[in-house]
Amino acid sequence: MSDDASEQDGRKPLTKLAQAGRKPEWTGMPGQPGAIVSPPVWRASTILYDDVAHLRKAAGSSTHERLFYGRKGTPTAWSLADALTEMEPGAEGTMLYPSGVAAIACALMAVLKPGDRLLMVDSAYDPTRNFCTQLLDNYGIETIYYDPTAVSLDVYLEGGPIRALFLESPGSLTFEVQDVPALTAWAKANGIVTLLDNTWATPLYFPALSHGVDISILACTKYIVGHSDVMMGSVTATPDWFAKIRQTAYVFGQMVSPDDAWLASRGLRTLGLRLQQHQDSAIAIAQWLKDQPDVARVLHPALPDCPGHALWQRDFSGSTGLFTFVLNGGDDTARAALIDGLAHFGIGYSWGGFESLALPVDPARYRSATQWSAQGPAIRLHIGLEDPADLIADIAAGLARFRAVRDGG
């Protein structure tokens, strides 16, 4: 839980990143002077009590951030959850999950019930769509997809009440920026709860609750962990919604291992530095790509021709390392020739680590309310912490391979 003092004290986000989640009771010994810097790994399943009375007292009281049983966590996970809460002004608390997808699933289960209708952004992360079709459908919950660039959603109210509005900004693969303040204001006026997948920007570059969102979701697997070695998700919510989010996480038995929480906390301390470098290098490479004749389009919110660029400029305080570019002509084989020979980019799913990645993407497959059309195949890049000059030389050689296949037939 955030304490009121830390929300009101005006500390800047980078200061919070260094200080958050380090409560004295998690870093020191009762009655002894001195404290360690970072809360250690508290591994536990069983918690032992002095007597039956204490056992019953622990079971009867609220167990949030109280030792009760390993499934409810230990100070290692609470420290990470508290730190994420501190990064989101207006938040009541944060729950942790074993993956980003688990966080999305549990957040949706917390707000929806049979008969409800859900508005889902058409540029949502593909597994989010899968959860709607493979699980919500079976529970009689209808998912309606909407255009990420829509400015009014009034038309959807004609079909009956809407329970929840799910946003992801910028969108997965295609990076459309949504008008989050306008959409959340519309939702509030219509009694609709809003959830946002904030994985790309993190609360550092987009404090979601301050922009009207009720429930903010992160795949911590990406930038919070930052080193491609832990899976984790988080849900941070307003005072109106946190109790429901927590109760749902408890009934589903969601928890994270203390070792993973500790690694994520370690990642969080350097989030500011890492994102700054991801941002600078990604913009340099995106701008270089934009000038290449073999590149038709670069989808990066910080570049003026990305849909929603003006909204990004208005609402976000930074951009990160993930964007897509569209090739000029060519087919899947020509695209593979570019990617396969890259020396400094790994080929693989996920992103947010220190290493650069290249992935062939085909957004048309994951659309239903909107159309995706492009001049050629697309590649999503995650720009890591390598020297951008090396990365540019690598992509330049890749574009030559692409050209050879495209033009050579």
Ligand X SMILES: *Cc1c(COP(=O)(O)O)cnc(C)c1O
Positions annotated as catalytic residues are: 71, 125, 197, 222
* Phi and psi torsions of 90, nearest 5°: 95, -5
Among positions 74, 94, 221, 238, the unique one binding ligand X when judged by CB under 6 A: 221
Segment near ligand X (CB under 6 A); pick from 85-93, 142-150, 214-222, 396-404: 214-222
**Other residues' Cβ atoms within 10 Å of the Cβ of residue 128:** 23
* Residues of span 319-378 touching ligand X by CB under 6 A: 350
2 binds ligand X (CB under 6 A): no
Q: How far is the CB of 221 from ligand X (least distance, A)?
A: 3
230 binds ligand X (CB under 6 A): no
Beta carbon nearer to ligand X, 241 or 351: 351
Segment near ligand X (CB under 6 A); pick from 70-78, 216-224, 277-285, 370-378: 216-224
Beta carbon nearer to ligand X, 17 or 357: 357
Q: What's at 327, amino acid-wise? A: L
Beta carbon nearer to ligand X, 2 or 319: 319
DSSP E strands in 164-260: the ranges are 164-168, 193-197, 215-219, 233-237
Segment near ligand X (CB under 6 A); pick from 77-85, 95-103, 135-143, 272-280: 95-103
Q: How far is the CB of 322 from ligand X (least distance, A)?
A: 8
Among positions 94, 199, 238, 281, the unique one binding ligand X when judged by CB under 6 A: 199
Count of residues that bind ligand X according to CB under 6 A: 13
Q: How far is the CB of 231 from ligand X (least distance, A)?
A: 5
How far apart, in whole angstroms, are the C-alpha atoms of residue 196 and residue 297?
26
Beta carbon nearer to ligand X, 384 or 398: 384
Among positions 86, 122, 197, 260, the unique one binding ligand X when judged by CB under 6 A: 197
172 binds ligand X (CB under 6 A): yes
**Other residues' Cβ atoms within 10 Å of the Cβ of residue 317:** 10
Closest C-alpha among 59, 83, 241, 272 to residue 164: 241
* Phi and psi torsions of 51, nearest 5°: -160, 175
In the shown chain, the binding pattern of residues 99 to 138 toward ligand X, with x for contact by CB under 6 A and - for none, equals xxx-----------------------x-------------
Beta carbon nearer to ligand X, 102 or 327: 102
26 binds ligand X (CB under 6 A): no
Closest C-alpha among 289, 237, 283, 233 to residue 80: 233
Q: How far is the CB of 166 from ligand X (least distance, A)?
A: 11
Question: Do 107 and 252 meet the contact criterion of CB atoms below 8 Å apart?
Answer: no
In the shown chain, the binding pattern of residues 231 to 270 toward ligand X, with x for contact by CB under 6 A and - for none, equals x-x-------------------------------------
How far apart, in whole angstroms, are the C-alpha atoms of residue 299 and residue 372?
13
Question: Do 202 and 224 meet the contact criterion of CB atoms below 8 Å apart?
Answer: yes
**Other residues' Cβ atoms within 10 Å of the Cβ of residue 231:** 18
Q: Which residues contact residue 67 at a Cβ distance below 8 angstroms, ignoring those fewer than 6 apart?
A: 44, 47, 58, 74
Closest C-alpha among 379, 385, 361 to residue 282: 385
Beta carbon nearer to ligand X, 215 or 231: 231
- The DSSP symbol for 177 reads P
CA distances from 402 to 213, 291, 349, 405 (A): 42, 16, 22, 5
Apex 17 CA angle, 250 and 12, nearest 5? 120
Q: How far is the CB of 217 from ligand X (least distance, A)?
A: 7
**Residue ranges binding ligand X (CB under 6 A):** 99-101, 125, 172, 197, 199, 219, 221-222, 231, 233, 350
